[in-house]
Amino acid sequence: MLVALDWGTSNLRAYLMSAEGDVVETRHAARGVLHLPAPADAGGFEQAFAEIARDWLGRHPALPVVAAGMVGSAQGWIEAPYVHAPADVRALAAHGVRVASGLGPEVVIAPGVIFDAPARMPDVMRGEEIKIAGAVAAEPALGERTWFVLPGTHSKWVFVQEERIVSFATYMTGELYAVLREHSILGRLMTESADGGESALGFEAGLDAARASSPGDLSHQLFAARTLGLTGRLPRNALADYLSGLLVGHELVSALAASRATREAGAPLVLLGDAALCRRYARALEAFGAAADEQLDDTAPRGLWEFARAAGLLV
Amino acid sequence: MLVALDWGTSNLRAYLMSAEGDVVETRHAARGVLHLPAPADAGGFEQAFAEIARDWLGRHPALPVVAAGMVGSAQGWIEAPYVHAPADVRALAAHGVRVASGLGPEVVIAPGVIFDAPARMPDVMRGEEIKIAGAVAAEPALGERTWFVLPGTHSKWVFVQEERIVSFATYMTGELYAVLREHSILGRLMTESADGGESALGFEAGLDAARASSPGDLSHQLFAARTLGLTGRLPRNALADYLSGLLVGHELVSALAASRATREAGAPLVLLGDAALCRRYARALEAFGAAADEQLDDTAPRGLWEFARAAGLLV
């Protein structure tokens, strides 16, 4: 049995797991790394951990505990330095970092992964490597050679070969959407997204603009999220979807080109993450003629269980 | 004689001008359209106008008054609807909108310009058209056929032919820089820009990344403003300049391609605006092998004077 913590920027999810890797019980708290009362000191982490897992450890005092995500960043409980790609779950387990939990067992925190190759921009992930480990464990065929797409604040396109994360690229799609909508002039004309036709209209218009773009055009096309509204070419309740489609579309233009050779050589494209967001990406991929081969929901618990097993905690 | 107001989002600049178009006196107030006590009603505009120009109008009660910039927007004193490109200063003058100033003479507010052609994204300007009118009046040769580049929050690339604004494109370069620095994760590692070598190093690295980019890459390359710092490939006091160089570089990649045919056919490239920002763009243009032919500082007063003359106010 295992306590597994998926501890990100905004949320803490705790799973009580069986020896077979099944989730017995799930808990959630809005206690992400940026939402702790005293983020600068370990006390805040100990307290959040105690609140969510005290009774589990009361019943089973020797239960191993593992964690992954921003909890291992420089702003986290303790820093678990990045391991270099290529990396599999055994490499992650070999570099787990232990911290006293305040409740008996230590917590073993998974490192992130860094991709730092000459002539490429360096890139980092923290948390996605565990979700990928879970996906590969659940469907071993995906370990051979797969492109995983994890949409979100910082979307990741991750190439896995022989169960190892070989290379990856981050796109700031979700964060760009949020900061432009909240803090730029583009948000001024936007109303709430429509549920139906206008929403689809705006999203498709954004995808079309991205597909028709020339290099460097993004900061020009972004301004259309204002001028399409000013001129009435798009209804105001479609402007936020235009912005979303434009940003997702640019991500796809870049990442589909970078992944083309390996995809054409047979590597499947797998969407991994929040179901609603994955459906949005699935629509965009179809519009770009590159339909996803599969869509997986949250695989973090299974990945944490694999991490614990590779770390020798489940003996 | 004339009172000319350059009234933008952040600032109000007032010029007392001679019958020959020379600036006799200049005043400035932090009374832009977004910084008025009561932006929703005309009283705030009347008060700001009275504070800056009351004694001028006390001495010369029949003085004509003109204004340009965001003061004519939907959030301004009174809306002066856009005129369609192609448009010259006579077209602007024909569509000036009059508003009572509260001090005797009416204020004649210049319209903005809209470029709304089929199969192109619509685009708008407000204020830049007057600066261009001033540049063309000061150097009539520039009226024949010129690309004007006005860097800023919303950079404009404007093609002028036969003294008319024919087409233009907005790039959200300055606003993207500001919102990403202040509101995204990219700002976290950034320290103040260095004055010397690190600043140039970061800016050049950003320009290089933009020049090497493939379509859609921007939201991926933006993340390097974090990872280049995490990995120590760039010092932290160069990261803001990397972001600046990357965004300016993407603007240049797009706009230099769009302007190539007419530039190669002989149209000069003229930088117009704040001197320090124009120098930054001049360096970037040189790095891209497309040096600016000329650099002009603020031409708004002369443009306002030309607008007033075309409107028949200087008889």
Compute how many other C-beta atoms are within 10 angstroms of the C-beta atom of residue B73: 20
Judge residue B159's burial from the number of C-beta atoms within 10 Å of its C-beta, 0-12 exposed, 13-18 middle, 19 or more buried: buried
Q: Give residues 202 to 231 of A whose Cβ lies within 8 Å of B.
A: 209-210, 213-224, 227-228, 230-231
Mutate to test the interface with A, among B33, B113, B172 (most CBs of A within 10 A): B172
Test B209 with A247 for CB contact under 8 angstroms: no
Residue count (chain A): 315
Of B114, B169, B215, nearest to A253 by CB-CB distance is B215
Distance from CA of A315 to the nearest CA of B (A): 36
**Residue A35 confidence (pLDDT):** 83
Test B251 with A182 for CB contact under 8 angstroms: no
Q: Is B232 on the interface with A (CB under 8 A)?
A: no
* Contact residues, chain A, for B115 at CB < 8 Å: none
* Contact residues, chain A, for B151 at CB < 8 Å: none
Backbone angles phi, psi at B29, to 5 degrees: -140, 145
Of A170, A214, A216, nearest to B210 by CB-CB distance is A216
Torsion of CA B13, B18, B19, B20, to 10 degrees: -100
Judge residue B162's burial from the number of C-beta atoms within 10 Å of its C-beta, 0-12 exposed, 13-18 middle, 19 or more buried: exposed
- Each domain of chain A, given as residue ranges in start order, spans 2-141+300-310, 171-296
**Residue B198 confidence (pLDDT):** 84
Degrees to nearest 5, angle at CA B231 with A269 and B215 = 45
Judge residue B106's burial from the number of C-beta atoms within 10 Å of its C-beta, 0-12 exposed, 13-18 middle, 19 or more buried: middle
What average pLDDT does range A229-250 have in this prediction? 96
* Contact residues, chain A, for B221 at CB < 8 Å: 121
What average pLDDT does range A248-271 have in this prediction? 98
Q: Is the pLDDT of residue A194 over 90?
A: no
Q: Is B161 on the interface with A (CB under 8 A)?
A: no
**Residue B4 confidence (pLDDT):** 98
**pTM attached to this predicted model:** 0.95
Separation of alpha carbons B48 and A2, rounded Å: 68
Q: Is B284 on the interface with A (CB under 8 A)?
A: no
What average pLDDT does range A36-48 have in this prediction? 79
Backbone angles phi, psi at B158, to 5 degrees: -125, 125
* Contact residues, chain B, for A233 at CB < 8 Å: 122
What average pLDDT does range A73-84 have in this prediction? 94
* Contact residues, chain A, for B258 at CB < 8 Å: 214
Distance from CA of B63 to the nearest CA of A (A): 35
Please compute Rg for chain B using Cα positions.
21
Which residues, in sequence order, are bridge partners of residue A170? A156
Does A171-296 match A2-141+300-310 at the fold level? yes
- Nearest Cα to B91, choosing from B315, B313, B306? B306
Question: Does the A2-141+300-310 domain belong in CATH 3.30.420.300?
Answer: yes
Separation of alpha carbons B116 and B146, rounded Å: 20
Q: Mean pLDDT highest for which of A53-62, A80-89, B39-48, B97-106?
A: A80-89
Test A216 with B251 for CB contact under 8 angstroms: yes
Of B124, B184, B249, nearest to A230 by CB-CB distance is B124
- Nearest Cα to A225, choosing from A193, A188, A251, A250? A188
Of A121, A183, A220, nearest to B221 by CB-CB distance is A121
**Helical spans, DSSP H, in chain B:** 42-59, 89-94, 128-138, 173-183, 197-211, 218-221, 224-230, 239-264, 275-287, 300-310
Contact predicate B70/B8, CB 8 Å: yes
Of B122, B183, B233, nearest to A233 by CB-CB distance is B122
- Fold for B171-296, please state it: Nucleotidyltransferase; domain 5 (3.30.420)
Q: Is B140 on the interface with A (CB under 8 A)?
A: no
Q: Is the pLDDT of residue A39 over 70?
A: no
Residue count (chain B): 315
Instruction: Name every residue whose Cβ is closer than 8 Å to that of residue B107 and which is 6 or more positions away in sequence.
Output: B5, B49, B65, B66, B67, B77, B98, B99, B100, B101
**Residue A57 confidence (pLDDT):** 94
Q: Is the pLDDT of residue A38 over 90?
A: no
The low-confidence residues of chain B, meaning pLDDT below 70, are 38-40
Q: Is the pLDDT of residue A243 over 90?
A: yes
What average pLDDT does range A84-90 have in this prediction? 98
**pLDDT one-digit tens code per residue, A199-216:** 999 999 999 999 999 999
Q: Is A182 on the interface with B (CB under 8 A)?
A: yes
* Contact residues, chain A, for B183 at CB < 8 Å: 179, 182-183
Q: Is A290 on the interface with B (CB under 8 A)?
A: no
* Contact residues, chain B, for A216 at CB < 8 Å: 210, 213, 218, 249-255, 257
Test B123 with A169 for CB contact under 8 angstroms: no
> Which of B153-159's residues contact partners 24+ apart within 8 Å by CB, and which partners?
B153/B9, B153/B178, B154/A185, B154/A223, B155/B251, B156/B125, B156/B128, B157/B255, B157/B258, B157/B259, B158/B125, B158/B128, B158/B132, B159/B259, B159/B262, B159/B267
Q: Is A173 on the interface with B (CB under 8 A)?
A: yes
Separation of alpha carbons A72 and A80, rounded Å: 5
The better pLDDT of the pair A5, B118 is held by: A5
The tally of CA atoms less than 13 A away on the side-chain side of residue B66 is 28
Strand (E) or helix (H) holding A277:
helix A275-287
**Residue B127 confidence (pLDDT):** 97
